[in-house]
Amino acid sequence: MNYNQALEKLTQYDQIHLLKFYKELDDDKQRELLLQIEETDFSIVENLKHRASETKRGKITPIASMEIDEIEKNKSRFESLGLDAIKRQKVGAVLLAGGMGTRLGSDEPKGVYNIGLTKDLYIFECLMNNLMDVVNKAGKWVPLFIMTSDKNHERTVGFFKEHDFFGYKDDMVWFFKQEMAPAVDFEGKVLLETKSKISTSPNGNGGWFVSLDRNGLVDKIHEMGIEWLNIFAVDNVLQKIADPVFIGASIDSAVEVGAKVVRKAAPDEKVGVMCLEDGRPSIVEYYELTEQMRAERNEKGEYAYNFGVILNYLFSVSALERIMSHKLCLHIVEKKISCLDEAGNEIKPNEPNGYKFEQLVLDMIHELESCLPFEVIREKEFAPIKNATGVDSVETARELLKKNGIEL
Ligand code: UTP
């Protein structure tokens, strides 16, 4: 794309300010900027105009979860079903590690964070240890796909190599990059990260299957005969990955997706809650639950909306392929975005200064026909690291790891 073509494209989206410093750049930098303008989908920014429609929901009703007592009764049957699927290489795992982890406040990928106290123990290492438990039990490697973004890809891949994949078989691990989206100020003007670079950020965790496909890995998945993909977040250091009991229960229930859930700590806890929306599986955010819904009880006398999701799902590959072309809604999220000011000076804001556009995994659930919410015990499987201190932090995760006998 040449300068005039770039100008034409930017005029169409009212973003010509992105060429403001063009004349100051050397040839290479000019080419880089033009290429980025060519590749960027500015139509995303139009979503700012339709924000109101984002909140329109269907009729929300409760969904039944498979609870601990029922799981315990069937545990050995589920476990052998799950182990059998792993042994036949029907199950792959997908680590979602493309996020920016801004709340943790480190410039590094979240997974390289060292949470050890008397020894090194990296977040990635905790996850690999958890996956190794299953590999050892099944006597079979679980193919692992790791999603990164432009912002952290090299560092993530390098880190795994430096640490010999934490004992994992390196040819059973595939890295792939997710897509990026432009970031804007509150007026909808795309921000510049440098004079030659548009500010972009990872486009949320909802595009993971499309990104897998764009990187040729869905073909690989077919080649290997994988039928189920267990996706999981980078920040929950206690979670079980490719958990045979969960896999067995999902297969046995013949659902399109299994979702690990925990009992909410309080009716107003800030977690996404499993429900039905117009009769289909769905997840409502805590702020979408009305007072009445929060207080509603089921026939057992328990809260009807009692189970929160922990971003650990088992998806059927064929169901994912069916919904792959469905457009997920874009969430507009206020964030602190490092950028240039009008004069071209770098700013690192302390308060949110603009919006990022994100697709979320939770919106994929509503596209599917059936879901099994599968209860896990919070203290044993949920230690998310979102913040450096306080709620869902390094501190709380360390406590939970210690309680579960993990040496720090
Ligand atoms: P979070 O919602 O916690 O976002 O991600 P984040 O970007 O990591 O952290 P903050 O909000 O900036 O502090 C939940 C999971 O989804 C992944 C994250 O890596 C994490 O495993 N994720 C998030 C992606 O893979 N890509 C994204 O674009 C966003």
Please enumerate in sequence order all residues whose Cβ is within 8 A of that of 137, keeping only pairs 6 or more positions apart, or say none. 83, 244
pLDDT at 54 > cutoff 60: no
Tokens standing for residue 37: 């303008």
Q: 75 falls in which pLDDT band (50, 70, 90)?
A: very high
- Closest atom of ligand 1 to 96 CA is 25
**For ligand 1, mutation pick of 113, 205, 234, 385 (most atoms within 8 Å of CB):** 205
Do residues 193 and 176 make contact, with C-beta atoms less than 8 angstroms apart? no
- Dist CA 98 CA 232 (whole Å): 12
Nearest CA to ligand 1 atom 2: 99
Tell how far the Cα of 107 is from the centroid of ligand 1, in angstroms.
Answer: 14
- Dist CA 385 CA 103 (whole Å): 9
Determine the pLDDT at residue 286.
87
Tell how far the Cα of 312 is from the centroid of ligand 1, in angstroms.
Answer: 13
Using one digit for the tens of pLDDT, what is the confidence trace for 12-38?
Answer: 999 999 999 999 999 999 999 999 999
Q: Which long-range contacts (CB under 8 A, 24 or more apart) does 299-305 make?
A: 303/264, 303/267, 304/62, 305/62, 305/264, 305/267, 305/273, 305/275
Nearest CA to ligand 1 atom 22: 99
Do residues 179 and 98 make contact, with C-beta atoms less than 8 angstroms apart? no
Partners of 51 in the β-ladder: none
pTM of this prediction exceeds 0.85: yes
Residue 106 φ then ψ, to 5°: -110, 145
The whole-number average pLDDT for the span 176-184 is: 95
123-138 helix and 244-252 helix, angle to the nearest 10 degrees: 70
Q: How many residues does the structure list for the chain?
A: 408
CA dihedral 209, 210, 216, 220 (to 10 degrees): 20
Nearest CA to ligand 1 atom 10: 101
**For ligand 1, mutation pick of 126, 201, 234, 311 (most atoms within 8 Å of CB):** 234
Q: 106 falls in which pLDDT band (50, 70, 90)?
A: confident
- Closest atom of ligand 1 to 232 CA is 21
What do you get for the CA distance between the two ends of the chain, in Å? Answer: 53
Do residues 309 and 363 make contact, with C-beta atoms less than 8 angstroms apart? no
The whole-number average pLDDT for the span 81-86 is: 98
Determine the pLDDT at residue 190.
97
Share of the chain above pLDDT 90, in %: 87
The whole-number average pLDDT for the span 76-92 is: 98
Residue type, 366: H
Determine the pLDDT at residue 325.
87
Tell how far the Cα of 5 is from the centroid of ligand 1, in angstroms.
Answer: 35
Tell how far the Cα of 101 is from the centroid of ligand 1, in angstroms.
Answer: 6
pLDDT at 50 > cutoff 80: no
Q: What domains can you pick out in the chain, each with its CATH number?
A: 1-39 (no CATH), 65-268+308-403 (3.90.550.10)
Determine the pLDDT at residue 107.
86
- Closest atom of ligand 1 to 148 CA is 25
- Dist CA 142 CA 90 (whole Å): 9
Do residues 333 and 358 make contact, with C-beta atoms less than 8 angstroms apart? yes
Using one digit for the tens of pLDDT, what is the confidence trace for 347-380?
Answer: 999 899 999 999 999 999 999 999 999 999 999 9
Tokens standing for residue 244: 């045979």
CA triple 111-115-118, angle to 5 deg = 140
CA 298 to chain centre: 31
Using one digit for the tens of pLDDT, what is the confidence trace for 277-326?
Answer: 999 999 998 888 888 999 999 998 999 999 999 999 999 999 999 999 88
Do residues 130 and 239 make contact, with C-beta atoms less than 8 angstroms apart? yes
pLDDT at 53 > cutoff 70: no
Tell how far the Cα of 30 is from the centroid of ligand 1, in angstroms.
Answer: 31
Unique residue bearing structure tokens 């997710």: 178
- Dist CA 109 CA 101 (whole Å): 7
- Dist CA 48 CA 189 (whole Å): 11
Tell how far the Cα of 147 is from the centroid of ligand 1, in angstroms.
Answer: 11
Q: What is the mean pLDDT of the chain?
A: 94
Residue 363 three-state SS: helix
**For ligand 1, mutation pick of 235, 355, 358 (most atoms within 8 Å of CB):** 235
Determine the pLDDT at residue 52.
53
- Within 6 Å (CB) of ligand 1, which residues are found? 96-103, 110, 147, 178, 202-205, 233-235, 311, 386
CB atoms near residue 9 (< 10 Å)? 18
- Dist CA 129 CA 302 (whole Å): 36
Tell how far the Cα of 205 is from the centroid of ligand 1, in angstroms.
Answer: 7
The whole-number average pLDDT for the span 156-172 is: 97
- Dist CA 286 CA 269 (whole Å): 7
Residue 176 φ then ψ, to 5°: -145, 150
Tell how far the Cα of 386 is from the centroid of ligand 1, in angstroms.
Answer: 9
Residue 146 three-state SS: strand
